[in-house]
């Protein structure tokens, strides 16, 4: 019997599972290289799924060292090609939107192609999808990290609302150009801008972190969105007198959340308003005696909750 190759090491049996994993990675790469449908202009979702798979495949192939360098290079080249196609697709959609040749209804139809959300008010929203990559690509988000300027025990780390949650909100909360949507803890501006694009409503985002606020403000300015405004400040002290619909994706807790509830309760005595929540903050909203669930059911942490005052 011929001796084992040097790269197998001294214990061939111990490396068999690893070698099988490398063989599987090579097979999966070959299938993706042959998948010509991934090169179709509108194949954004399949490309997004493939890119996630290729990231894993590349790591496995890299672990094979020099013997798999050709496959690893081919994998990297495919990643670059698919990523470039997705970037181009996002840029074309944004260009059409800014030129006025992509209507809100057409944008919504495009978003619907890349999400599993079907319009049900009982939908659970458990994870991000290709539609999130699409919106991030259109807005140029995710390309560089933005760090918080300061910390407080009542602040919650930056996390984007899944796009499907916002589609759910738009489907079940009437919003028009004559209304004002307020995003409390607006981060980099993603939710605010998307809601404006799809409804035409005036949008205000309130964000305490200067770096996040600056990024969102610059983004809205670069897109020419005159009815999207971002306010730098603590939501506990913000002027909430102009909002018709308020949205919270667990943006803060403790004293800040208590102060916001108190302010919103006061505003609710002056005019009708709607509060929408997603995440753990929905369980806190259920404890507010002045809020009642619009659908008449209790909240779920991973479902959009819509509340009316009364």
pLDDT in tens, 228-245: 999 999 999 999 999 999
* 95 shares its domain with 165: no
Tokens describing residue 40: 């179709």
Domain annotation covers residue 117: yes
Q: What is the pLDDT of residue 17?
A: 55
Domain annotation covers residue 173: yes
Q: For the chain, how many helices (H) and strands (E)?
A: 10, 7
Order across the sheet with 274-277: list the strands: 228-232, 202-207, 180-184, 245-248, 274-277, 305-309, 291-293
Of 173, 181, 172, the C-alpha closest to 205 is 181
Q: What is the pLDDT of residue 275?
A: 97
Domain annotation covers residue 149: yes
What's the rounded Cα separation, in Å, for the pair 85 and 81?
6
Q: Are strands 180-184 and 202-207 parallel, antiparallel or unpaired?
A: parallel
* 155 shares its domain with 273: yes
Tokens describing residue 17: 């599972």
Q: CB within 8 A of 135, min separation 6: which ones?
A: 111, 141, 163, 190, 194
Q: Which of 99, 123, 139 corresponds to the end of one domain?
A: 99
| CATH at 159 | 3.40.50.150
* 264 shares its domain with 127: yes
Domain annotation covers residue 1: no
Q: CB within 8 A of 134, min separation 6: which ones?
A: 44, 89, 90, 93, 110, 111, 114, 163
Domain annotation covers residue 32: yes
Tokens describing residue 196: 């404006």
Domain annotation covers residue 170: yes
Q: Are strands 228-232 and 202-207 parallel, antiparallel or unpaired?
A: parallel
Domain annotation covers residue 195: yes
- 38 DSSP 8-state letter: G
What would you report as the CA-atom Rg of the chain, rounded to the nearest whole angstrom? Answer: 24
Tally of structural domains, the chain: 2
Of 150, 165, 88, the C-alpha closest to 119 is 165
Domain containing residue 133: 110-309
Q: What is the pLDDT of residue 12?
A: 37
Q: What is the pLDDT of residue 65?
A: 80
> In the chain, which stretches have pLDDT less than 50?
1-16
Q: What is the pLDDT of residue 120?
A: 86
Burial class (CB in 10 A: 0-12, 13-18, 19+), 109: exposed
Predicted structure pTM score: 0.90
Q: What is the pLDDT of residue 2?
A: 39
* 141 shares its domain with 259: yes
Domain annotation covers residue 194: yes
* 136 shares its domain with 86: no
């Amino acid at each position: 019997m011929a001796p084992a190759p040097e790269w197998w090491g001294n214990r061939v049996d111990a490396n068999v599972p690893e070698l099988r994993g490398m063989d599987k990675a090579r097979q999966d790469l070959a299938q993706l290289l042959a998948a010509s449908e991934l090169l179709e202009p509108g194949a954004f979702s399949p490309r997004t799924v493939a890119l996630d798979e290729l990231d894993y495949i590349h790591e496995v192939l890299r672990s094979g060292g020099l013997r798999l360098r050709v496959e690893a290079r081919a994998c990297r080249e495919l990643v670059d090609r698919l990523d470039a196609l997705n970037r181009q697709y996002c840029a074309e959609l944004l260009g059409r939107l800014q030129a006025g040749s992509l209507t809100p209804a057409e944008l919504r139809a495009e978003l619907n192609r890349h999400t599993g959300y079907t319009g049900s008010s009982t939908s659970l929203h458990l994870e991000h999808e290709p539609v999130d990559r699409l919106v991030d690509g259109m807005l140029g988000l995710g390309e560089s990290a933005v760090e918080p300027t300061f910390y407080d025990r009542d602040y919650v780390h930056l996390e984007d609302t899944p796009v499907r949650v916002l589609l759910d909100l738009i489907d079940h909360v009437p919003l028009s150009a004559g209304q004002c949507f307020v995003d409390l803890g607006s981060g980099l501006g993603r939710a605010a801008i998307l809601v404006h694009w799809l409804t035409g409503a005036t949008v205000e985002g309130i964000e305490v972190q200067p770096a996040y606020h600056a990024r969102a403000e610059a983004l809205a300015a670069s897109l020419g969105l005159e009815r999207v405004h971002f306010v730098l400040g603590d939501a506990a002290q913000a002027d909430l007198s102009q909002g018709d619909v308020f949205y919270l994706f667990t943006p803060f807790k403790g004293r800040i959340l208590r102060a916001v509830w108190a302010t919103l309760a006061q505003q609710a005595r002056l005019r009708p308003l709607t509060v929408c929540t997603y995440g753990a903050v929905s369980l806190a909203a259920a404890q507010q005696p002045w809020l009642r669930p619009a659908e008449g059911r209790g909240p779920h942490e991973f479902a959009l909750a819509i509340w009316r005052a009364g």
